[in-house]
């Protein structure tokens, strides 16, 4: 079974620029999540999708972050404009009845 | 809202020296308690899920236990390859709240 694919692996941008991350979940997994993991902390849920509908985005900073999941498969997470405090690893995960699988993440550095 | 606290923040052990990691949480109820392992540059890898006080699960040198207010991850005779950050999380309706993790280093 292929894992959760994320790209890019690394991204360095200047503050106020925009950036987008891509995630391809495990085939057949209806639920997809984006987590933010700041260095030295545990992952924090940003948004949860069920198929292509949003289930929970209560912790997503909607003034600068947006996410979509077209056709209930791939997802993109966008930040515009980025701030220094957005430097983190952005993890995508998908789940089935058997549990969660995380991707390796995208490490974002905002300078 | 769930609060999940892990201790210690970091732990260095000699190879073969057994120990335990702690995970405590503030909200009881019908939520799962999850343990994950995270290696540098990778996403968390699932280890265990526990649901009921008194429940125990084992995998190789790891054993997870659960009480009403906390969970322990016991590591027996660890090897250098067990070095990683161990994360615990509480879950309800698939949403996970993570602790900050314990960074475990096993010295050969």
Q: Tell which of A26, A30, A40, A42 to mutate to test the B interface (max B CBs under 10 Å).
A: A42
Predicted confidence (pLDDT) per residue in A58-109, tens digit? 999 999 999 999 888 999 999 999 999 999 999 999 998 777 899 999 999 9
Give average pLDDT by consecutive 10-residue segment, chain B, 108 residues: 90 98 81 93 94 94 93 97 96 85 97
Chain B residues with a Cβ under 8 Å from any Cβ in chain A: 4, 34, 41-46, 49, 87, 89, 94-101
> Phi-psi category of A58—alpha, beta or left, where left has phi over 0 and alpha has psi -120 to 50?
alpha
Residue with tokens 């997994």: A29
Q: How many CB atoms lie within 10 A of CB B84?
A: 20
Cβ-proximal residues to B10 (8 Å cutoff; 6+ apart), any chain: B102, B103, B104, B105
Cβ-proximal residues to B34 (8 Å cutoff; 6+ apart), any chain: A100, B46, B47, B48, B49, B50, B88, B89, B90, B91, B96
Give the CA angle between residues B5, B11, B17 to the nearest 5°.
125
Residues of A in contact with B95 (CB under 8 A): 45, 48, 56
Residues of A in contact with B100 (CB under 8 A): 40-42
d(CA B77, CA B85): 17
């Amino acid at each position: 079974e292929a894992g959760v694919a994320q790209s890019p692996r690394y991204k360095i941008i200047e503050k106020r620029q925009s950036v987008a991350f891509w995630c391809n979940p495990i085939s057949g997994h209806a639920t997809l999540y984006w987590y933010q993991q700041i260095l030295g902390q545990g992952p924090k849920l940003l948004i949860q999708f069920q198929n292509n509908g949003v289930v929970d985005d209560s912790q997503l900073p909607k003034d600068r972050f947006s996410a979509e999941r077209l056709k209930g498969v791939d997802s993109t997470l966008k930040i515009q404009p980025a701030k220094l405090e957005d430097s983190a690893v952005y993890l995508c995960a998908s789940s089935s009845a058997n549990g969660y699988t995380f991707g390796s993440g995208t490490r974002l550095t905002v300078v | 809202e769930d609060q999940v606290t892990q201790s210690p923040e970091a732990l260095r052990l000699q190879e073969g020296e057994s120990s335990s990691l702690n995970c405590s949480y503030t909200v009881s109820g019908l939520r799962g308690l999850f343990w994950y392992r995270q290696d540098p540059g990778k996403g968390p890898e699932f280890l265990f899920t526990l649901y009921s006080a008194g429940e125990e699960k084992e995998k190789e040198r790891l054993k997870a236990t659960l009480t009403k207010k906390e969970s322990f991850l016991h590591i027996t005779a660890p090897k250098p390859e067990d070095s990683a950050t161990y994360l615990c999380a509480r879950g309800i309706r698939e949403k996970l709240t993570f602790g900050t993790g314990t960074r475990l280093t096993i010295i050969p």
